[in-house]
Chains A and B, each alone.
Chain A
Amino acid sequence: MIEIKEVTKKFQDKKTSVTALKHISFSVKKGQTIGLLGENGAGKTTLLRSIATLISPTEGTITVAGFDTEKQPSEIKRKIGVLFGGETGLYDRLTARENLVYFASLYGLSKHETKVRIDDLSKMFGMRDYLDRKVGGFSKGMRQKVAIARTLIHNPDIILFDEPTTGLDITSSNVFRQLVHQLKREGKTIIFSSHIMEEVSLLCDSVAMIHKGELVHYGTLEDLYRSEGTKDLNYIFMSKLVRGDRHYAS
C-alpha cells in the first residue's frame, strides 16, 4: 500500500542545511496500523508530509497505492486523509457542516454523497447537536471530532494522523482511540505519530522508530517485544534511542 525507498529530505537555505530524513525505507501493507515513534524533531512530521505529497523528498521515492508521490500527487490525495495535530484545519467562522461541505466539494463529492457522508460521520462522532454551529465556539474535543470527520469526508483508504491526541483530555483521546479501532475494522491503512507509548501499543500492529532522521527500528510489535524481552514499549523506545546515539558517537 505504501512503499518508502531510501528517502532523504534536506531543508536548505543559503546559510544552513538540515537533513530531516536519512535513507528511510519501509513498506506498509493494506489494513496495517503503524505507529511512528520519535522525539520532537526526529523527522516524524516530515515523513508524514512526504507521504501526503505535501513536501518532496530530496532523494528516494514514495509510492502510495501504486502512485508515485512526485508524479501522481492528485491520485494519492484522493486516497489519503491527513490530520496534522488534533484540532487543526478548520475554519472558525464556518459551521461544522459548512466546513465538511467545503472539503467534500474540494474532493469532488456530489451533493448527495456529501449529505450521506456528513450524516454518517455526524452519527459516528455524535456531532448532530452542534453540526450547524460555528466552529469558533467549540471545545477542543468538539473541534477534534469535526477535524477527524473532515479528514474522513472522502472515505480515504489510507489515513495519516500526526500526534492526534496531543493536548486533548482523556475523553477526547478515548474518542480518537475508538475511531482508530473502527477504522481498523473497516480495513483502512493507518499511520500515526505519537509520544504516547500506551496508545501505540494499544492501537498499532507495527512501529517505526525514528531517531535524528534515521529509522532505528521497523517491525511488528510482537517481534519487537520478543527481541527485546519486554513489553515495556517506553523502555524499548529509550534503549533504542540510546543505542542510536552510541551508533552516531562511534
Chain B
Amino acid sequence: MLLNIFKKEMKDSFRDRRTLLLTVILPIVMMTGLVLFYENLVSDGSDETYTLAVDQSIPTEVTSGLEQMGNIELITSDSPEEMVREGEALAALSFDETFTTRVENGEPAEAVLTGDSFSQNASILMNMVTTVLTQYEQVIVAERLEAAGTDLSMIEPFVINQQELSQENTNVNLIAMLIPLILSIAIGVGASPSAADLFAGEKERKTMEALLMTPVNRMNLLTAKWLTIASIGTITGIITLAVVILEIFLLTENLKGALSLSDNAVPVIAAALLTTVMFAMFTATLLMIASIAGKTVKEAQSYATPVTMISIFPLMIITGIGVNELTNTHFMIPVLNIFTILKELSFGIVDVQHILLMAGSNLLCVVIAFVVGRVMFLKDKWVMS
C-alpha cells in the first residue's frame, strides 16, 4: 500500500512542471552561475590583460617592472586620470616631472596611483602596480644604504616565511563553503513545491478528504508522502552534486586545482551521498510539517521559506573555522553538520566518527520532527480543509 501511494505521489510530482524546473533545471542554472562566480573570485587574474595609463615622467625601472608582469598594457597620456575617468584604462599612474631627479638627490618624491578599488579588475591592477613600485622602492633603499656603507641586513634582520597548515590548495576552503551552500539551498528549493502540494495542496483541492475516506491508515499516508518529499530532495541533491563536480572539472581551472578526489574518491563520494540523503530527510520532515500546518499551498510555502533559507546561518558560523578546529559538537548540530562534514570531505578527510555523529543527530531530529508531524496529521484540524 505504502509503495502504491509513493509511486503515485512521485508520478504526480514529476508531472508538475514546477518540480521538474526546481529539481533539475534550477540546480543546473544555479550551480553554473555560482561555480563560475567562485571561479572568477579565486582567479589571480593572470589570464587577463589590464590597461594602465601612465604619464611621460614614469621612470624606466618602473616601466620595465610593469612590462615584466606580462599582463599590463601601458598607455602613455598627458592626463592618465582622465583616461581612467573615460574608461579607457583601469588605473592611472602619475609621477611628478622632477620625480627621477628628486629620487636621485635623495629628496621626497611622490607617485600617484588612481583607480576604483571597488572594481575587482582595477583592484588587481593596483595591487600589481603597488608590487612593482615597492620593488623599485626597495632597490633605491638598497642603493642608498650601500652608498652610506650600511649592509641591507641591518634593516632586514630576518625573513618571515608564512606557510599554510594544509598542503591542499587554499581554494579548497571556498569549495568547502560553495558545495554545502548550494546543496542545502537546492534541496530545500527542489523539495519545497512537492511538499506544499502533498499536504496543503491536497487540502486545498479536497483530495485529502477523498484519501482519508479510504481504509488506508494515516500513518501509511504520512510515511509515503514524507518519503516522496525526501526522495525528491535526494534526487535534487544528487543532481546538484553531480552538476557542481562536473562543472568544476569542465569549466574551471582554479577550483579544479583545489578539488582532488584521486586519493580516496570512493569514500568521499559515498560520504557526500550519505550527507545528501540525511539532509534531504531532515529538510523533508520540516517541509512536511510546514505543509501540514498550511491550509493552502501559498500558506505552506510561506511557512517553508525559512526552511529553505536555513543554511545561511551555518554558513556564517563555519566560514571562520578551520578544518582542524572542528569539534564533535560541530558534527552534532543538524544543518551545521552538513557544512562541517562536506568541509572535511573537501579536504579529503573521511572521519567515520564524524560521519556517524552527523547521521545519528540528523536521524534523531528527523524522528522527533516526524512524530510532531504525525501528531498533527492525526488531528482533524490540520488535515481537513
Contact = CB atoms under 8 A, between A and B. Distances in A.
B215 A88 contact: no
B206 A88 contact: yes
A89 B385 CA distance: 12
A23 B121 CA distance: 81
A90 B1 CA distance: 19
Residue from the set A56, A81, A84, A106 with the largest chain B CB neighbour count within 10 Å: A106
Contact of A108 (B206, B209, B215): B215
Interface stretch (B9-17, B170-178, B258-266, B293-301): B9-17
Interface in A32-56: 49, 52-56
Interface stretch (A72-80, A123-131, A193-201): A72-80
A150 B210 CA distance: 9
A106 B209 contact: no
Contacts of B211: 106
B8 interface: yes
B207 to A, nearest CB: 5
B384 A106 contact: no
Contacts of B209: 54, 82, 84, 88-89
Interface in A219-238: none
Interface string A84-100: 11001111111000100
B212 A103 contact: no
A98 B206 CA distance: 18
B214 A77 contact: yes
A74 B215 contact: yes
A106 B215 contact: yes
Contact of A84 (B1, B5, B206): B206
Nearest to B216: A106
Interface in A132-174: 150
Interface in B283-323: none
Nearest to B208: A89
B206 A94 contact: no
Contacts of A49: 384
B214 A88 contact: no
B217 A106 contact: no
B217 to A, nearest CB: 7
B144 interface: no
A107 B205 CA distance: 21
Nearest to A134: B15
A69 to B, nearest CB: 12
B4 interface: yes
Contact of A89 (B11, B210, B215, B380): B210
Contact of B4 (A55, A77, A91, A102): A102
B12 A54 contact: no
A77 B221 CA distance: 15
A85 B210 CA distance: 11
Nearest to B214: A106
A78 B213 CA distance: 9
A105 interface: yes
A106 B4 contact: yes
A84 to B, nearest CB: 5
A52 B207 CA distance: 15
Given A77-B214, A94-B11, A106-B211, A54 B384 contact: yes
B201 to A, nearest CB: 10
A108 B207 CA distance: 18
Q: Which 7 A-B pairs give the minimum distances between C-beta atoms?
A: A89-B210, A88-B206, A106-B214, A93-B15, A77-B215, A105-B4, A74-B215
Interface of A: 49, 52-56, 74, 77-78, 80-82, 84-85, 88-94, 98, 102-103, 105-108, 150
22 contacts: A54-B212, A54-B213, A54-B380, A55-B380, A77-B214, A77-B215, A81-B213, A82-B209, A82-B213, A84-B206, A85-B206, A91-B205, A93-B12, A93-B15, A94-B8, A94-B12, A98-B8, A103-B210, A106-B5, A107-B214, A107-B215, A108-B215
Given A54-B384, A102-B4, 20 more contacts: A52-B213, A54-B209, A54-B213, A56-B380, A77-B214, A81-B213, A84-B206, A88-B209, A88-B210, A89-B210, A90-B207, A91-B205, A93-B16, A94-B11, A98-B8, A102-B8, A106-B4, A106-B216, A107-B214, A108-B1
